Each structure stands twice: as structure tokens, then as C-alpha cells.
């Protein structure tokens, strides 16, 4: 499937979604934008997006990155205990958590005059509980001296003490629009990039047509992020790295479908083992599928092609089929997702894990037990990388089991087929 690549030469408005500590992802996207020299002329945000957006308007990536890299719950909330349950109980009893530390951070770093004087326009969304309506404002619309008040109002999660401005109460802008793209579109921005944070509040499905703009691009987290109020350092840093890699992929500088590869499809031609399959090799693969399906290859091929298509970076061709097989096999063998590989490096790591698996394989007890598991679809107690290695060890025997594998767990079959095929190219797979 072809992925739409963001045009690096345009000037954009940037929309940053809300999502608490999931906002670490936006810092990674920002890092990529800086490296690529992408021009941003306006930024809007909701909740943590409004906070990150203020840093962005100030062009202060270093401070934002430093804060996120050393983030602690005490930077946001006044707490007496690290026990989250106790914290939530206290919030209920005391009409919300005290977020004075967050306000102190804003007052330290967010100089209103600098935000207003920045050549990057800035806007945010909050919601007035008093007036029962959303408040969507660009910096020119915010009263003088009140920018930090409005940022606090935008980032006022329901668990926090209610924010007040001039006697009116406000709550997190995510209750109205967690991805405030209309704010930029209504300000005359014609090309917009939205940075999404999945696993938060339901978001409006904005399109270029619905916004009346020329182009709209979306950068979405490719894997699960931390929780909305999860201050886990490792997960925060992983989120930043994910944002960076997802953004680089969105601009066509990193490749792969589920993994992140610095090898483009065109460059597979120059890899040692992963060159495009030849017509003769393709015939051999199709013959193997026909063999393993006991002649019922037409119906069996559909789930295989569907899975390969899902993992193919572009259209499924002789150039991309090994890339798709490699990523499926890497996932099966639990290769780390959030890091940059070359295609050869990812293949070598898969090979290492495969060899370890073959050395310590826990063979399925019997074919009868295996078939019962297939039929009942109870795969939770089967180690799938062991299963792929097991079928490779069968060689040409046991075609019945392979038919069930092909039918019920096509991704495992693809891994088996890929590794078995690679024996024709890589002698290391033949070593005992």
C-alpha cells in the first residue's frame, strides 16, 4: 500500500493533540521537523498540545526536551504520595489535584511577550464550564497578561482543580476538540499537519475538504504510548523516539511498514540476501504453497496475500514481498519496533533469534494436539516463533499440519516460508 509522503517544501500549520504524558510523542515529532528544516508558521494545541505548542512558538526545543527527558509527576502535580490510587481518591475528596507545580513551570518558561512576538502564530482550545461553550483563540484574541491562564485552562484535566479566569471556570479543551485544526484553518493556514495521540478522548475526523484547506497530513503513533498520567521515564523516552521515527517516515526519510528501516524498497537490490525475488524463485514459492495446501492453494493464498499486503510498504511486488516477509518474521520473533534498522541488520537479528529458538525449541507434543489447537483457535499457549521453527524442522514431511498452519495462522506460515526460502540464499540457515 502506497503511503502519502508529506511535502517537505511547503510551509505548514502544526496541530498538537491533547493526551497528558502521551505528549512526549510530540517532542519526537518536533525533533524530526527541526532536523528536516520543515517550516512551521503557526501552531495550535489542546491540553498538553497547548503546552508543547507554547514551547514550539518560542522555538525552545532544548528546554522542552530537557523537561520531558527528566519529567516527574511532581513537575505537574503537588502530591504527597506516588500511589496513583491514593492520588485519585484525594482528587475526588478535595475537588481536584493541585497543579501549582505545572503553573510554576509555565511562569518560568513561557514569557508572554516572547510568545506574542514570535513569528510562529499560536492558538489553543479550552472549554468554559460557566458559559457551557468552547473557547478557541489565537494569541491575538487572548487578553494581555493572560496567555498562561489560558494555557492552564486548556490543560485542565477533569481530575485537576478547576481553572478560573475572571471568575469563570474552565476545563480541558479536549472535551470539545482534541485536535484543533479548524483554529488554524480559520486563521488562513492552507496546509496543516496534525500530530495525533491515540488512546485519549475521541477526536473529530478532520479532512482537508471539511476544513476548506489545500492539504492535510496526519502523523499518528505507530505503537501504544504511555498512559495519560504515566510518568515512566523509559516509556516517555520511547514515546519521544517513536514520534521522531514516525515523523521521519511520514516525510519519506525512513522506510518500512511496521518497522523503521533506513533501506528503501529500491535499495533492497543492493542488500546481501534480500534482493527482489526472481521469476524462478517466485515459481518455487508458489509450488511450495501448493504443496503445503494439498492442492487447495487458491483459497489458501488469500489470507497470505492479505497479510503480505498489510506489511508491504508499497504495492505488493517482487521488490516488496521480502520486505513484507521480513517485517512479519521480525514481529513474530519479537524484534524491538521503536528503533532504526537497516534491512540487513533486521534480517541478521531475526536470524540470530531464529538460531536461538532452534537450539532451545519446545516442540509441540504431538500433531494431534496441534490440530486440536488449530481447530479451536486456542493459540495463546503456543509460542509462535517456536511454532515457525518447528515447521521448518519438519522439512517436506507432515503436509497436513502445514495446511492447518497456512489456513489458521498465515503470519506464522509466512515466517516459516520466508526462513525456509532464505535457505536458498543464506548458507548460515543450513548450519546445524
| Final residue of a structural domain among 232, 251, 270 | 251
Tell me: do 153 and 268 sit in the same domain: no
Average pLDDT, the chain: 88
Residue pLDDT, tens place only, 17-56? 999 999 999 999 999 999 999 999 999 999 999 999 999 9
Tell me: do 129 and 273 sit in the same domain: no
Residue pLDDT, tens place only, 176-192? 999 999 999 999 999 99
Tell me which of 304 and 127 has the higher pLDDT: 127
| Residues of the chain above pLDDT 70, percent | 84
The pLDDT of residue 428 is 84
Tell me: do 287 and 349 sit in the same domain: yes
Q: Is residue 59 part of a domain?
A: yes
As for how many domains the chain has, the answer is 2
Which of the 8 DSSP states describes residue 115? H
* Beta carbons of 17 and 179 less than 8 angstroms apart: yes
The pLDDT of residue 369 is 56
Tell me: do 140 and 233 sit in the same domain: yes
Tell me: do 84 and 154 sit in the same domain: yes
Tell me: do 213 and 264 sit in the same domain: no
| Final residue of a structural domain among 251, 274, 304 | 251
| Residue of 44, 47, 222, 312 marked active site | 47
pLDDT at residue 297 tops 70: no
Q: Is residue 6 part of a domain?
A: no
Tell me: do 380 and 282 sit in the same domain: yes
Q: Is residue 300 part of a domain?
A: yes
| Final residue of a structural domain among 226, 251, 276 | 251
The pLDDT of residue 379 is 47
The whole model's pTM is what? 0.89
Strands 340-341 and 121-128: unpaired
pLDDT at residue 3 tops 90: no
Distance between CA atoms of 390 and 367, rounded to whole angstroms?
A: 11
pLDDT at residue 72 tops 80: yes
Residue pLDDT, tens place only, 374-395? 455 444 445 666 666 666 665 5
Tell me: do 303 and 230 sit in the same domain: no
| Residue of 121, 149, 172, 177 marked active site | 172
Q: Which of 348, 360, 408, 366 is nearest to 386 (CA)?
A: 360
Tell me which of 392 and 237 has the higher pLDDT: 237
Task: Give bridge partners of residue 317 from the DSSP assignment.
Answer: none
Residue pLDDT, tens place only, 205-231? 899 999 999 999 999 999 999 999 899
Mean pLDDT to the nearest integer, 74-103: 75
Q: Is residue 165 part of a domain?
A: yes
Tell me which of 352 and 286 has the higher pLDDT: 352
- What secondary structure does DSSP assign to 171-216, as a single string? EEGGGT-SS-HHHHHTTT--EEEEE--SSSS------HHHHT-SEE
Least confident range of 1-15, 304-318, 350-364: 350-364
Tell me: do 59 and 197 sit in the same domain: yes
What is the domain extent for residue 76?
11-251
Q: Is residue 3 part of a domain?
A: no
Alpha-carbon separation of residue 137 from 46, 124, 194, 365, 430 (angstroms): 11, 6, 18, 65, 65
Q: Is residue 191 part of a domain?
A: yes
The pLDDT of residue 45 is 98
Q: How confident is the model at residue 372 (pLDDT cuts 50, 70, 90)?
A: low
Tell me: do 340 and 407 sit in the same domain: yes
Q: In the annotation, is 47 catalytic?
A: yes
Q: Where residue 76 sits, what CATH number does that domain have?
A: 3.40.1090.10
Tell me: do 164 and 293 sit in the same domain: no
Q: Is residue 2 part of a domain?
A: no
Q: Is residue 214 part of a domain?
A: yes
Tell me: do 110 and 54 sit in the same domain: yes
Amino acid at each position: 500500500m502506497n503511503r502519502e509522503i508529506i511535502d517537505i517544501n511547503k510551509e505548514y500549520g502544526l496541530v498538537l493533540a491533547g493526551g497528558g504524558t502521551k505528549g512526549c510523542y510530540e517532542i519526537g515529532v518536533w525533533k524530526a521537523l527541526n532536523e528536516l528544516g520543515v517550516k512551521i508558521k503557526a501552531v495550535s494545541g489542546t491540553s498538553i498540545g497547548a503546552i508543547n505548542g507554547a514551547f514550539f512558538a518560542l522555538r525552545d526545543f532544548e528546554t522542552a526536551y530537557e523537561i520531558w527527558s527528566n519529567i516527574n509527576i511532581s513537575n505537574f502535580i503537588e502530591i504527597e504520595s506516588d500511589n496513583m490510587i491514593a492520588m485519585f481518591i484525594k482528587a475526588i475528596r478535595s475537588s481536584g489535584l493541585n497543579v501549582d507545580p505545572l503553573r510554576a513551570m509555565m511562569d518560568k518558561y513561557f514569557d508572554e511577550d516572547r510568545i506574542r512576538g514570535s513569528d510562529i502564530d499560536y492558538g489553543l482550545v479550552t472549554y468554559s464550564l460557566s458559559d457551557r461553550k468552547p473557547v478557541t483563540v489565537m494569541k491575538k484574541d487572548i487578553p494581555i497578561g493572560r496567555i498562561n491562564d489560558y494555557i492552564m485552562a486548556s490543560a485542565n484535566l477533569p481530575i485537576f482543580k478547576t481553572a478560573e479566569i475572571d471568575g469563570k471556570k474552565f476545563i480541558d479543551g479536549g472535551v470539545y476538540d482534541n485536535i484543533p485544526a479548524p483554529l488554524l484553518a480559520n486563521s488562513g493556514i492552507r496546509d496543516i499537519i496534525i500530530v495525533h495521540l491515540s488512546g485519549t478522548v475521541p477526536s473529530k475526523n478532520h479532512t482537508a475538504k471539511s476544513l476548506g484547506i489545500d492539504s492535510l497530513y496526519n502523523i499518528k503513533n505507530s505503537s501504544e504510548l504511555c498512559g495519560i498520567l504515566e510518568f515512566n521515564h523509559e516509556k516517555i523516552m520511547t514515546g519521544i523516539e517513536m514520534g521522531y521515527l514516525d515523523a521521519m517516515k511520514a516525510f519519506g526519510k525512513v522506510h518500512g511498514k511496521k518497522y523503521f528501516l533506513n533501506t528503501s524498497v529500491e535499495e533492497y537490490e543492493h542488500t546481501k540476501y534480500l534482493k527482489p525475488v526472481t521469476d524462478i524463485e517466485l515459481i518455487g514459492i508458489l509450488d511450495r504453497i501448493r504443496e503445503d495446501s494439498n492442492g487447495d492453494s487458491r483459497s489458501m493464498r488469500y489470507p497470505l496475500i492479505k497479510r503480505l499486503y498489510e506489511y508491504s510498504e508499497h504495492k505488493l511486488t517482487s521488490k516488496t514481498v521480502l520486505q513484507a516477509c521480513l517485517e512479519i518474521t521480525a514481529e513474530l520473533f519479537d524484534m524491538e519496533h521503536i528503533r532504526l534498522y537497516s534491512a540487513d541488520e533486521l534480517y541478521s537479528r531475526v536470524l540470530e533469534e531464529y538460531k536461538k529458538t532452534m537450539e532451545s525449541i519446545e516442540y509441540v507434543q504431538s500433531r494431534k494436539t496441534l490440530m486440536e489447537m488449530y481447530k479451536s483457535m486456542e493459540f495463546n499457549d503456543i509460542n509462535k516463533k517456536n511454532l515457525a521453527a518447528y515447521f521448518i524442522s519438519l522439512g517436506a514431511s507432515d503436509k497436513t499440519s502445514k495446511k492447518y498452519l497456512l489456513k489458521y495462522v498465515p503470519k506464522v506460515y509466512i515466517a516459516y516460508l520466508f526462513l525456509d526460502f532464505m535457505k536458498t540464499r543464506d548458507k548460515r540457515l543450513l548450519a546445524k
